[in-house]
Amino acid sequence: MALYVDSAYLEDITTAVQAAPISGVTMNPSLLLAAYEHGQILEPLALLQKMLEELAGTIFIQPGATEEEAMYQEGMKY
């Protein structure tokens, strides 16, 4: 069994990683918005870069765009 943190709030993610053997992180536009509303000011790409620097494991991030080409471009940027 693999455990993933379903969050975009970096403080919660690092706390979870310290507490349990986490396999990675999953996040989507709603979670990114919730993290922003919680006071996190990192843009999605900066958040992703920070996670790659600080965490081991797989990171899943869902594009927030609604049009096919924009989703593709966002995915390529990540």
- In angstroms, the Cα distances linking 68 to 11, 44, 48, 65, 77 are 32, 19, 21, 8, 14
**How far, in Å, CA of 35 to CA of 75, rounded?**
20
The count of C-alpha atoms lying within 13 angstroms of the C-alpha of 67, restricted to the half-sphere facing its C-beta, is: 3
Instruction: State residue 28's pLDDT score.
Output: 94
pLDDT tens track for 19-70 = 999 999 999 999 999 999 999 999 999 999 999 998 889 999 999 899 999 9
Q: What is the pLDDT of residue 54?
A: 86
**For the whole model, what pTM was predicted?**
0.83
